A and B are shown apart, each in its own frame.
Chain A
Amino acid sequence: MKAILALADGQVFHGLGFGADGDAVGEVVFNTSMTGYQEILTDPSYEGQLVAMTYPQIGNVGVNPEDIEARRPFMRGFIVKDYTAQPSNWRASQPLHEYMAAHGIVGIQGIDTRALVHHLRDHGAQDGVITTTAASAEEAVAKAKAAPGLVGQDLVKNVTCTEAYDWNQGMWQLTGGYKQRDGTSAAKRSRKGSFTAPKYFVVAYDFGIKYNILRNLAESGCQVRVVPASTPASAVLALKPDGIFLSNGPGDPDAVPYAKENVQQLIGKKPIFGICLGHQILGLALGGKTYKLKFGHHGGNQPVMDLTTRKVEITSQNHGFAVDTDSLIGAAQLTHVNLNDNTVEGLAHRELPIFSVQYHPESSPGPHDANYLFKRFTDLMAQHRGS
């Protein structure tokens, strides 16, 4: 079926639809990862966005029941150059388009994604539409112009869990898949690998949390209770956690003032670790400012320097906003910096056991260079336990 990708500035690309039919409206961004489209598809941070993959061959490995980052995909639409409908991988359980169709995700293939990236790079990320229903390019552009945009929109409420839940899954292994915590029913049911009892209790704010964060926390020895984004600080403290985690999530950090307010009440009470949107919210809570990047960082090859060790880690990133360094002078110190554009990648409170990173140490997809940060968090909790 013919499909059109239209941008709000009038740029139009013609292609063929795959996955679900219909219209998908959102901010158009590009991701430079060469592997891991299934994880990208199911990353809640892509709520409200249409994602173009710069790597042209998509669908090669199909989808499988393991490589998911949330209960369902949240990305609005998927833009690719060359789609493969017959996957080849020992874990593949179905082709990507079937999975997308089942979840109502509209895809468009046959797009000159490189030209699209050039356009976004030069003109900035902007709203767009993938449509299989528009009769003309003009109609498609009109739909794109009508998009609400990301700035000021609370997208977190669309993706956060409605009720708190406990997490018991550990990291993935080649043989056996995900480890399950000993004593859980899942661990008893399967012969998969298991891991030992937790040492720390962590409450994780779900602003759109990726499962792999939870898996990393569990694997690092944390018992994790995931709570909805709007959970009051008092309710969190009532759970008596050893530490609090602020998750990643979609959209504009300024659009979730309740999150900032809750975090402000938690500062000084418990060790806090934030990732991505969680990092931005922490930045705001510490009195800083955030701003929108021209086209964001979305990919798995961004070099970040840890300023304490001066070592470089190759990181997975997915954000359209960033914390303004100058706005935090005095409150926090810069711990990590992006070597491509010198933007803030990590900060730490000057006195308190609080730190956060803009990028994704849980990767999935992407390199595992930064997963030491989970240990940094448990070390902090160990130091401050009971204080």
Chain B
Amino acid sequence: MPKRTDIKSVLLIGAGPIIIGQACEFDYSGTQALKALKEEGYRVILVNSNPATIMTDPDFADRTYIEPITTDMVEKIIAKERPDAILPTLGGQTALNLAIDLAEKGILAKYGVEMIGAKLESIKKAEDRDLFKDAMRRIGLDLPKSGYARNMKDAQRIQKRLNFPVIIRASRTLGGSGGNFAYSAAEFKEVVQAGLAISPVHEVLIEESVLGWKEYELEVMRDHKDNVVIICSIENFDAMGVHTGDSITVAPAQTLTDKEYQLMRDASVRIIREIGVDTGGSNIQFAVNPRNGRMTVIEMNPRVSRSSALASKATGFPIAKIAAKLAIGYTLDEIRNDITRETPACFEPTIDYVVTKIPRFTFEKFPQAKDLLTPQMKSVGEAMAIGRTFKESLQKAMRSLETGSFGFEPKVDLSEAKRPESLAIVHEKLTNPNSQRLWYVGDAYRLGMSTEEIYQLSAFDPWFLEKIRELIVTDQEIEKCQGKLAELEEPTLRAWKEEGFADARIAKLVGASEATVREARKHKGVEAVFNSVDTCGAEFEAFTPYLYSTYEGADESKRTERKKIMILGGGPNRIGQGIEFDYCCVHAAFALKEEDYETIMVNCNPETVSTDYDTSDKLYFEPLTMEEVMNIVDRERPDGVIVQFGGQTPLKLALGLERAGVPIIGTSPDNIDLAEDRERFSALITQLAIKQPANGMARSYDEAFKVAEGLGYPVLVRPSYVLGGRAMQIVYDGEALQNYMTFAVSASPEHPVLIDKFLDDAIEVDVDALGDGDEVVIGGIMEHIERAGVHSGDSACSLPPKTISQAVQDEIRRHTVALAKALNVRGLMNIQFAVQGSNVFVLEVNPRASRTVPFVSKAIGVPLAKLAAKIMVGRKLKDLGLTREIIPAHVSVKEAVFPFNKFAGVDTLLGPEMKSTGEVMGIDRSFGIAFAKAQLGGGVRLPKRGKVFISVRNEDKASVTPVAKTLDDAGFEIVATQGTAAYFATHGVHCEVVKKVQEGGPNIADQIKAGDIALVVNTPEDARSHADSFYIRRCALDYAVPYFTTIAGAEAAAEGMVYLQQHEFEVKPLQEYFAPALP
């Protein structure tokens, strides 16, 4: 049956902000779905609060609502747009939960909207653990024994049947939030309590432990004619017990015989039928007992998922796109396979390579959190690599992570003297899952442990372990060749490269430079070739150039004679470098296609739109290392390479590439370096007569103190060349500086530490601008809500600025133009200013795409990244129609979203080190309502009434008083601890006194837990009362009470709250905001 004609319009629900467990894979899936639906001629309406997505670009849907994804807001959208159908299976758990709510509240029925892609009943059957288990039992499948509780008593009763350890999972949460093991009664109680609290339905599942079992996933698709295909099998390297998002995973499954695999396949087919997913994709997880093959079903996601994005990239089969087409009535046999063109999509991809995904963690951002992997997901991104063998793909994935690893570098001291200590460390690291465990396997072999011993500790399948053992053997052989690089013959070098050894790793082991190794192997004819990802193991011709490198005979990359531009992507997501940079890279690809260039994308992040084979003309799924990028450059000889869009990742390569003669287009690497290099930059600033905070640079420990004392405390310290404020701190005295220099960074001549005078109580401003060599146009001026000192990525901001005077804004504009011209910016540039009174200081200049580019683009209705890419190939701003700054009549607010709830015991305070994972945007006609929308988009529902608890440090008492007064006048009840209350009393704020935590009960924490507090305002205090305030903040977080830890944030919130008392939210699509600009 062809597509449905009874449906004319479809509402697609996005996934909202990037959070742990729900990242840009849903931009990838949503964008594919939008393209598929538009292609079929449907009118498409989109709602997503995340401005950094490609899907929210106004070109992708007919109506694009950047609005909070909540039931009431989406109801307003439905009422306004009256879609025929709603498609909720491409926006992660967020969209699915919302769809359930819309259906159960009768909203879909009221407006006659049909849910397509999945039925309510099916979603509930898959999501509700009880219903799911019943369903599995009905079709005769094995499950871990379990029971399910809504209170402690029931929980304990269930536990008695199962012994320890047991696993406890909270119902209906994302990324396994609230899931954990308990090994004892005490632990059990704690975990159950937390799980009940975090579950939106106050329900936990207590389950037989399948810890140490092998974990598998199958990606399944079904159409309404009941054709079912398996797209990909995935085997987890980490055994059960580590969330699959935190596991290293390998496709296809490696250690199943056909009989066992077919059992799993049969089970998957039965499951998707029983659950009733009529059209679309699902992900089904299994655990297999390694001793006897017993196979149990773990769970099913009746929607596309992180794993389906991985499976799509791993096989070349675009699951989300096909899922969208199935949802509107097509069957699998009616859809062509894009890659082979001749064959249908109704088949099961077969691959002739191995895919490895390794998650990327950011424990360094949360020093109070333990690097311990559990069923609760903690990783913030992932890298995927493709190789002809597991060994090659594993080592490529390791260097794709960009954590400084180029292979199995030792983690412990391997000397004979330290052996006992090292063995003890290795034992501990193998036993307790952690982000570095893979590398400790290498050390275990180096220390002489056997595969069996390592297996007993880690539960890594011996097949994987043996492959690592072989890699370590080679690693040691390479080391024996120290100083003998020139003597090595072709077969040896080729064998190393075939095993996936990086030039950098070989260089380190033989004691040569990476460039020398590269030269040596190329001299012997050992060069990378490129194979294509073709879904069919080369059985049919592939038409889509989706390529990976390997070391074999034949090359399939087929260089064309077209003019070509290569775009270097951003690699794995991490805090500080995420979807925003991918957004820019994708725009570069779109823009240059329009300019008739062949576009070549290089990236290794499977979650992204940039690694969709549809995005650019050619896709190289490769690590973003000098070695791999140069391999592609050698093959393609591009006319230009873009390094300014992918964040710090490609920038780090820029100078090296330029030195190798690669044509970098846009702002020159030398000028990028000029902006990054403090000394060169200071000289420039001085010459332009622009102020910057007094600063200095320390190349040693002693120098740091001299500089700091010269500037006067507080100072802001950080290592040079960082993104996301890595290791950036405000230091208030010598003792703190000593601490920082000892524990946080080690200064050296190559890696100096930057020290700035910290500007107290300054307002920070972000500016994005475009330069074409002649003209400079400002994209947007954003005023931060939080004061300087909070990382710009973590601060909310407003465009246009909220409080900054016209005079100051004009000064900012002048500085921006002057700097852009001085740096000869061709493309994008971002500047951070601090405004203290009427003084404007430059904090930082980055002549490249910034995190705010997508936000600004959406706020002003101009795709800045796209224009920037066109400028880089020679177009001028005036040809592109952007000649002056656009100052919108509406207000756009960006708010950051944080992962604190995933890390137990971590403080929620904001500082110069970035901690947010994502962002949301609120747009409306005034600041207060836009801010409230942004809060709501980020999951914070500002209260309209109730008790507001205020507890601030002494310095903040005066500035918080007007906030308290506003709320008091608006009918909120103010609650404060003794000190703050006394202050308020003398300043005319009505206030109730509540006990501090250490004053005994009932205290403020009890009130928060009891749900009596509607909002918490709390700023950090000095060390003495820190514990108390930390406890309050953590309580607010754990009990989901809105909280603000800065005065500026509280001010903005108060404005929003007062506004909300008098107004309803309204919804409006981007297309209406910019209607006059459209033809």
Contacts and interface: CB of A to CB of B under 8 A. Distances in A.
A and B: interacting chains: yes
Interface of A: 30, 32-36, 38-39, 54-57, 60-61, 64, 66-67, 81-82, 84, 86-91, 112-115, 117-118, 121, 172, 174-175, 299-303, 305, 310-312, 314, 339-341, 363-368
A312 B257 contact: no
A55 B351 contact: yes
Contacts of A36: 257-258, 261
B347 A311 contact: no
The main secondary structure of chain B at its interface with chain A is: loop
A339 B344 CA distance: 7
Given A340-B342, A365-B258, A305 B333 contact: yes
Interface string B241-278: 00000000000111111111111011000000000000
B257 A91 contact: yes
B958 interface: no
A90 B292 contact: yes
B391 to A, nearest CB: 8
B258 A56 contact: no
Contacts of B293: 90-91, 174
Given A84-B466, A91-B293, A303-B344, A57 B350 contact: no
Nearest to A36: B258
A39 B259 CA distance: 10
Contact of B259 (A56, A66, A86): A66
Contact of A311 (B226, B233, B349, B466): B226
Among B233, B259, B332, B354, find the residue whose CB has the most chain A CB atoms closer than 10 A.
B259
B388 interface: yes
Nearest to B551: A112
Contacts of A172: 259
Given A82-B389, A339-B346, A90 B291 contact: yes
B353 interface: yes
A35 B539 contact: no
B266 A88 contact: no
Given A61-B255, A67-B257, A303 B346 contact: yes
Contact of A340 (B253, B343, B388, B390): B343
B462 A39 contact: no
Given A303-B333, A311-B227, A340-B343, A34 B350 contact: yes
B266 A368 contact: yes
Given A56-B388, A88-B461, A114-B538, A339 B350 contact: no
Given A39-B258, A67-B259, 12 more contacts: A30-B539, A33-B258, A82-B388, A117-B352, A301-B536, A303-B344, A314-B348, A364-B259, A366-B258, A367-B230, A368-B262, A368-B265
Interface in B340-375: 342-344, 346-354
A114 B531 contact: yes
B290 interface: yes
Contacts of A38: 257-258
B389 A57 contact: yes
Contacts of A86: 451, 462-463, 466
B352 A113 contact: yes
B538 A35 contact: no
13 contacts: A32-B539, A35-B258, A67-B259, A81-B389, A112-B552, A112-B553, A115-B552, A118-B554, A121-B539, A175-B294, A303-B346, A363-B262, A365-B258
A340 B346 CA distance: 9
B225 interface: yes
B540 interface: yes
B537 A54 contact: yes
A57 B254 contact: yes
Nearest to B259: A172
Interface string B534-574: 00111111000000000011100000000000000000000
A368 B343 CA distance: 21
A174 B531 contact: no
Given A35-B256, A39-B258, A112-B553, A117 B538 contact: yes
Contact of B257 (A64, A117, A303, A368): A64
B976 interface: no
B265 A367 contact: yes
Among A87, A88, A174, A366, find the residue whose CB has the most chain B CB atoms closer than 10 A.
A88
Q: What are the 5 A-B residue pairs with the smallest beta carbon separation, nearest first?
A: A36-B258, A54-B537, A365-B258, A88-B463, A35-B258
Contacts of A340: 342-344, 347, 540
A112 B294 CA distance: 36
Contacts of B467: 84
Contacts of B352: 32, 54-56, 81, 113-114, 117
B347 A314 contact: yes
B730 interface: no
Contacts of B389: 56-57, 81-82
A303 B344 CA distance: 8
Contacts of B539: 30, 32, 54, 117, 121, 299
Interface in B192-241: 225-227, 229-230, 233
B295 interface: yes
Interface residues of B, number: 59
A370 to B, nearest CB: 12
Nearest to B466: A86
A117 B255 CA distance: 24
A364 B233 CA distance: 18
A367 B389 CA distance: 25
Nearest to B532: A114
Contact of A312 (B261, B332, B353): B332
B265 A301 contact: no
Contacts of A35: 253, 256-258, 261-262
A314 B229 contact: yes
A175 B295 CA distance: 11
A365 B294 CA distance: 20
B867 to A, nearest CB: 41
Contacts of B265: 367-368
Interface in B318-356: 332-333, 342-344, 346-354
Contact of B225 (A34, A174, A310): A310
A67 B531 CA distance: 33
A301 B346 CA distance: 10
Contacts of A33: 258, 350
A54 to B, nearest CB: 4
Contact of B554 (A112, A303, A312, A339): A112
A84 B254 CA distance: 11
Contacts of B350: 32-34, 54-55, 299-301
A101 to B, nearest CB: 20
A339 B388 contact: no
Nearest to A313: B227
A8 to B, nearest CB: 19
Contacts of A91: 257, 293
B388 A115 contact: no
Contacts of B229: 314
Contacts of B349: 301
Contact of B462 (A88, A299, A339): A88
A312 B227 contact: yes
Given A117-B538, A174-B260, A34 B351 contact: yes
B808 to A, nearest CB: 62
A293 B780 CA distance: 64
A340 B233 CA distance: 22
Nearest to A64: B257
B554 to A, nearest CB: 4
A288 to B, nearest CB: 26
Given A112-B553, A301-B348, A174 B353 contact: no
Contacts of B351: 34, 55
Interface in B421-478: 451, 461-463, 466-467
A113 B554 CA distance: 10
Interface string B37-79: 0000000000000000000000000000000000000000000
Nearest to B331: A312
Interface in B280-298: 290-295
B258 A67 contact: yes
